């Protein structure tokens, strides 16, 4: 009992430190600290429309975080997640552009999601290939490919796919109404996105924790060299884990297109992949906690939109708080001498 | 085995963290649920693409709204600024509008071309709220629901005056224009500046062949590092390439800031900023003047109309009050002369403004497009629609007519 208490103490203190630093920042900005935390931690849950917006942020965040726990399990720091999400959106849009009035919509939805997943997986595999055969760190390769993906989206939005007459940062011409995923009345919630996110969560959880494949992936993550000596096909497992992560991100990108933006916007990923990285850093390869931490981050991010209106505070404080939590917990882990699992 | 212990321990700690977080969340929820009391106020909401202190487009809206708020008793402004993918990723116009309406807004004014789709969706979702999209065309294209109108100023006049001021003061006749992204509106305004410059260059007896008018588009309304060209660099490149006047068409004040610096360094270069009445303050010594939007008259009318129930769906174009283009209460488009404009040129500029007021229309043929095709035949006058949907730059201008 006592040892358990000691073990629990560090992250709780870390959380407290993060909240305290944020509070100090808010004080320095001359804000009402309690009210600000109220909005930040609870604002997203006050009305059906806000809850639905929060869930629509949670869905892609969860997908990215779930994907990243897979690549983390394999010991890969997949910073290319944003790019994988972006090309997922691009591929989805490519598929959707074939739509004509009267075509079976369901075919286009499923096709868009599959195209997104495929393209995301390919984008992630490029990074894995560069790492395996050219010895390029997956961190730098991933970041590089993020820029390439953004460039591709920008090129398409302002070039071949631009709306008639007016190329616009707000994206390509909106999709035909029929292609918009249906929403619950009075909200922007499309149930498909969160449901697919949860399905992927369960699948990845089973794969990582309860299959021989998952065991081998985790073995690669602990030590690629040792796992090879034990007869694990390390290269293959690493590639598969990266591809699975890319597919999750690509799915998120595709869902953003048919469920949220209804057109290709350059900023499909919009920092959700990076937020997913923060979630994954917190939970490491432990899939069980992904949903709760992602939920928490979605609440903070979504609630922060109200800050400028309610309290004249810049909404970027939510990012500060998230970053501080992750930093504090990593520092706490380091002090305790834990290695990244 | 050790690994397992660690992860078991971690998961227990995580559980506690999560419980702590959730309890925080729920207590916060309880604190949040008290609704604001209803009152007699008329609340109007503003959705801005840039920050309220951008010294340009967004500040012009914000300051005008503030002014109107102080003049109309009981009116109250609520706003969200920086609604753009760089500052607020994941935030859609519809979401922001929901928040403004939650604050009691009965009139929502969205103020960026890029808010077109979002404004339309928000208007459909809130049929009981009046929406006005500043610089959209949904009313013309028939896409607008009944509660959505459009509003824009005839900045063509402001830009003609800007172009004229540039041509009057330029020693070399080498004028540059820094534009945002390429679309109908931005082409229309760049073309207007060119027409003003050409007219006044010829009036002062300059060699028509010596007038150079170069347009560079940065890619968006303001600098987004890594996405747009850096406007600071673009402006300095203009000066390096021999331009002595830069006219700005973007939302932010890089042109006047850089021209001010170059002046301080001893170069005889000037700039004409854009959008915001006080924009010259960022580089007084180099400022020829600024064409600006004054949203006070149109906002005042809007609020009174919506309040009084007399608002009609319209595609509203407002212009200068030619009796005094700088009258706060009546003139929607103004031109504030800068300190760098010489007294002689100021007089000439006033004469040009008087000509415009007297009916001079620079959109009169013969005018060719940049590719040499005819836009207006000799003596033909362009319609509003022809000007609004401007497909190209004009003959004599350098730069891209369409984005790559």
At residue B19, does pLDDT exceed 70? no
For residues B96 and B88, what is the distance between their CA atoms, to the nearest angstrom?
A: 11
Between the two ends of chain A, the Cα-to-Cα distance in Å is 24
Mean pLDDT of the region B347-359? 95
Cβ atoms of B138 and B148 closer than 8 Å: yes
CB pairs under 8 A between A and B: 158
At residue B131, does pLDDT exceed 70? yes
Contacts of B198 (CB under 8 A, 6+ apart): B163, B167, B208, B211, B213, B396
Matching residue, tokens 């469920």: A259
Contacts of A170 (CB under 8 A, 6+ apart): A263, A265, B113, B114, B115, B116, B117, B118
Closest-CA distance, A283 to chain B, in angstroms, reads 8
Q: How many CB atoms lie within 10 A of CB B202?
A: 13
Domains of chain B: 42-153 (3.40.50.2300), 155-292+336-398 (3.40.50.2300)
Cβ atoms of B286 and B263 closer than 8 Å: yes
pLDDT at residue A14, as a whole number: 79
Looking at residue A158, which CATH number applies to its domain? 1.10.3470
At residue B9, does pLDDT exceed 60? no
Closest-CA distance, A219 to chain B, in angstroms, reads 12
Identify which of B24, B84, B103 has the shortest CB distance to residue A41.
B24
pLDDT at residue B34, as a whole number: 37
pLDDT at residue A170, as a whole number: 74
Which of A309, A310, A335, A338 to mutate: most B Cβ within 10 Å?
A: A309
Instruction: Answer whether A38 sits within 8 Å of B28, measured CB to CB.
Output: yes
Judging contacts by C-beta atoms under 8 Å, the chain B residues touching residue A296 are 18, 21, 25
Q: Rounded to the nearest 5°, which phi and psi values hold at B262?
A: -65, -40
Cβ atoms of A307 and A39 closer than 8 Å: yes
Residue A341 has which token pair? 């699992």
At residue B334, does pLDDT exceed 90? yes
Which of B32, B43, B181 to mutate: most A Cβ within 10 Å?
A: B32
Q: Is the peptide bond before B366 cis (omega within 30 degrees of 0)?
A: yes
Instruction: Answer whether B184 sits within 8 Å of A57, measured CB to CB.
Output: no
Number of domains comprising chain A: 1
Select from B334, B329, B320, B301 the least CA-distant residue to B149.
B301
pLDDT at residue B349, as a whole number: 96
Q: Rounded to the nearest 5°, which phi and psi values hold at B359?
A: 110, 5
pLDDT at residue B377, as a whole number: 94
Angle (CA) A225-A76-B16 rounded to 5° is: 110
For residues A142 and A148, what is the distance between their CA atoms, to the nearest angstrom?
A: 10
Strands B212-217 and B397-398: parallel
Model confidence at B346, pLDDT cuts 50, 70, 90, reads: very high
* pLDDT digits 0-9 by tens, B187-197: 999 999 999 99
Residue A110 has which token pair? 């499923």
Cβ atoms of A277 and A81 closer than 8 Å: yes
Contacts of B51 (CB under 8 A, 6+ apart): B58, B81, B82, B87
* pLDDT digits 0-9 by tens, B363-380: 998 999 999 999 999 999
For residues A159 and A170, what is the distance between their CA atoms, to the nearest angstrom?
A: 14
At residue B241, does pLDDT exceed 70? yes
Contacts of B189 (CB under 8 A, 6+ apart): B155, B156, B159, B179, B249
Q: B3-12: long-range contacts (C-beta < 8 A, 24 or more apart)?
A: B3/A222, B3/A341, B6/A338, B6/A341, B7/A286, B7/A341, B9/A4, B9/A7, B10/A284, B10/A286, B10/A338, B10/A341, B11/A286, B11/A288, B11/A289, B12/A4, B12/A7, B12/A8
Instruction: Answer whether A309 sits within 8 Å of B80, measured CB to CB.
Output: yes
Cβ atoms of B246 and B259 closer than 8 Å: yes
For residues B47 and B123, what is the distance between their CA atoms, to the nearest angstrom?
A: 13
Identify which of A188, A271, A288 has the shortest CB distance to residue B94.
A188
Cβ atoms of A194 and A58 closer than 8 Å: yes
For residues B261 and B273, what is the distance between their CA atoms, to the nearest angstrom?
A: 14
For residues B239 and B270, what is the distance between their CA atoms, to the nearest angstrom?
A: 10
For residues A303 and A309, what is the distance between their CA atoms, to the nearest angstrom?
A: 11
* B205 φ/ψ sector (left φ>0, alpha ψ -120 to 50, else beta): left
Instruction: Answer whether B389 sits within 8 Å of A165, measured CB to CB.
Output: yes
pLDDT at residue B35, as a whole number: 38
Strands B374-376 and B367-368: antiparallel
Q: Is A105 among the domain residues?
A: yes
pLDDT at residue A338, as a whole number: 58
Q: Is A157 among the domain residues?
A: yes
B289 burial (CB, 10 Å; 0-12 / 13-18 / 19+) is buried
Smallest CA–CA distance from A287 into chain B, residue: B11
Residue A111 has which token pair? 């096709």
Q: Is A154 among the domain residues?
A: yes
Strands B333-337 and B289-293: antiparallel
Judging contacts by C-beta atoms under 8 Å, the chain A residues touching residue B118 are 170
Q: How many CB atoms lie within 10 A of CB A181?
A: 18
For residues B83 and A47, what is the distance between their CA atoms, to the nearest angstrom?
A: 22
**10-residue stretch averages of pLDDT, chain A, 341 residues long:** 54 82 86 87 88 95 95 93 97 94 92 98 96 92 94 88 72 90 88 95 93 93 88 93 97 96 90 91 79 91 85 80 85 68 40
In chain A, positions 168-207, which contact chain B (CB-CB < 8 Å)?
A: 168-171, 174, 186, 188
* pLDDT digits 0-9 by tens, B151-186: 999 999 999 999 999 999 999 999 999 999 888 889
Q: Rounded to the nearest 5°, which phi and psi values hold at B45?
A: -110, 145
Closest-CA distance, B394 to chain A, in angstroms, reads 16
Domain that holds residue A178: 48-303
At residue B403, does pLDDT exceed 90? no
Closest-CA distance, B267 to chain A, in angstroms, reads 36
Contacts of A39 (CB under 8 A, 6+ apart): A303, A304, A306, A307, A310, A311, B28, B32
- DSSP percent split of chain A into helix, strand, coil, nearest 5: 75, 0, 25
Q: Is A309 among the domain residues?
A: no
Closest-CA distance, B24 to chain A, in angstroms, reads 7
Helices (H), B295-368: 296-308, 343-357
Closest-CA distance, B266 to chain A, in angstroms, reads 38
At residue B289, does pLDDT exceed 60? yes
pLDDT at residue B1, as a whole number: 37
Matching residue, tokens 């909404």: A315
Q: Is A329 among the domain residues?
A: no
Angle A290-304/A33-42 helices, nearest 10 degrees? 120
The H or E element spanning position A105 is helix A105-134
Contacts of B83 (CB under 8 A, 6+ apart): B47, B48, B49, B91, B93, B96, B112, B115
Judging contacts by C-beta atoms under 8 Å, the chain B residues touching residue A34 are 31
């Amino acid at each position: 009992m006592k040892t358990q208490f000691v073990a629990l103490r560090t992250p709780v203190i870390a959380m407290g430190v993060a909240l305290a630093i944020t509070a100090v920042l808010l004080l320095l900005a001359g804000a009402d600290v309690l009210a600000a935390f109220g909005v930040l931690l609870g604002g997203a849950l006050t009305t059906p429309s806000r809850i639905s917006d929060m869930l629509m942020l949670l869905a892609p965040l969860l997908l990215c975080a779930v994907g990243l726990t897979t690549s983390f399990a394999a010991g890969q720091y997949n910073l290319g997640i944003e790019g994988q999400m972006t090309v997922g959106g691009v591929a989805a849009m490519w598929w959707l552009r074939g739509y004509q009035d009267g075509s079976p919509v369901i075919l286009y939805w499923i096709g868009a999601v599959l195209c997104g997943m495929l393209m995301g997986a390919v984008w992630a595999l490029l990074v894995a290939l560069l790492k395996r055969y050219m010895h390029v760190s997956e961190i730098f390769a991933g970041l590089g490919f993020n820029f390439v993906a953004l460039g591709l989206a920008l090129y398409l939005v302002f070039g071949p796919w631009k709306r008639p007459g007016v190329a616009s940062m707000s994206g390509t011409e909106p999709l035909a109404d029929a292609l918009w995923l249906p929403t619950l009345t009075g909200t922007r919630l499309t149930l498909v996105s969160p449901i697919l996110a949860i399905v992927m969560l369960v699948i990845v959880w089973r794969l990582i924790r309860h299959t021989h494949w998952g065991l081998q992936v985790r073995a690669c993550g602990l030590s690629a060299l040792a796992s090879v000596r034990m007869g694990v096909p390390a290269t293959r497992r690493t590639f598969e884990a990266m591809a699975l992560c890319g597919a999750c991100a690509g799915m998120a990108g595709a869902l953003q297109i048919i469920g949220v933006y209804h057109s290709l916007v350059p900023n499909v990923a919009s920092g959700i992949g990076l937020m997913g990285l923060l979630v994954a850093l917190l939970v490491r390869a432990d899939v069980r906690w992904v949903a709760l931490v992602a939920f928490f981050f979605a609440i903070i991010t979504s609630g922060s939109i109200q800050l400028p209106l309610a309290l004249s505070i810049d909404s970027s404080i939510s990012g500060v708080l998230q970053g501080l939590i992750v930093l504090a917990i990593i520092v706490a882990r380091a002090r305790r001498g834990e290695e990244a699992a | 085995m050790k690994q397992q212990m660690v992860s078991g321990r971690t998961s227990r700690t995580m559980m506690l963290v999560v419980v702590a977080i959730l309890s925080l969340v729920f207590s916060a929820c309880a604190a949040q649920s008290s609704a604001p009391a209803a009152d007699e106020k008329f609340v109007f909401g503003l959705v801005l693409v840039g920050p309220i202190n951008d010294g340009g487009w967004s500040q012009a809206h914000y300051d005008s709204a503030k002014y109107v708020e102080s003049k109309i008793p009981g009116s109250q402004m609520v706003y969200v600024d920086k609604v753009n993918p760089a500052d607020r990723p994941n935030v859609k116009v519809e979401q922001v509008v929901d928040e403004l309406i939650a604050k009691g807004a009965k009139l929502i004014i969205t103020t960026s071309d890029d808010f077109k789709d979002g404004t339309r969706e928000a208007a459909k979702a809130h049929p009981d709220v009046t929406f006005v999209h500043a610089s959209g065309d949904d009313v013309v294209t028939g896409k607008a629901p009944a509660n959505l109108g459009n509003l824009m100023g005839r900045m063509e006049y402001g830009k003609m005056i800007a172009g004229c001021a540039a041509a009057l003061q330029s020693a070399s006749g080498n004028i540059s224009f820094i534009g945002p992204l390429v679309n109908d509106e931005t082409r229309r305004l760049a073309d207007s500046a060119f027409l003003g410059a050409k007219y006044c260059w010829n009036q002062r007896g300059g060699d028509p062949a010596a007038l150079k008018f170069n347009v560079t588009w940065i890619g968006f309304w303001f600098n987004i590092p890594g996405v747009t060209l850096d406007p600071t660099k673009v402006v300095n490149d203009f000066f390096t390439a021999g331009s002595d006047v830069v006219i700005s068409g973007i939302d932010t004040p890089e042109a006047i800031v850089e021209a001010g610096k170059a002046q301080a360094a001893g170069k005889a270069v000037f700039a004409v900023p854009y959008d915001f009445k006080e924009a010259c303050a960022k580089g007084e010594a180099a400022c020829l003047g600024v064409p600006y939007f004054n949203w006070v008259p149109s906002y005042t009318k809007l609020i009174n109309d919506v309040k009084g129930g007399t608002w009609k769906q319209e595609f509203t174009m407002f212009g200068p009050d030619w009796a005094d283009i700088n009258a706060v209460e009546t003139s929607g488009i103004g031109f504030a002369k800068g300190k760098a404009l010489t007294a002689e040129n100021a007089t000439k500029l006033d004469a040009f403004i008087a000509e415009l007021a007297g009916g001079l229309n620079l959109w009169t043929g013969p005018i060719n497009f940049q590719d040499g095709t005819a836009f207006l035949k000799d003596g033909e006058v362009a319609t509003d629609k022809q000007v609004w949907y401007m497909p190209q730059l004009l003959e004599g201008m350098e730069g891209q007519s369409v984005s790559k």
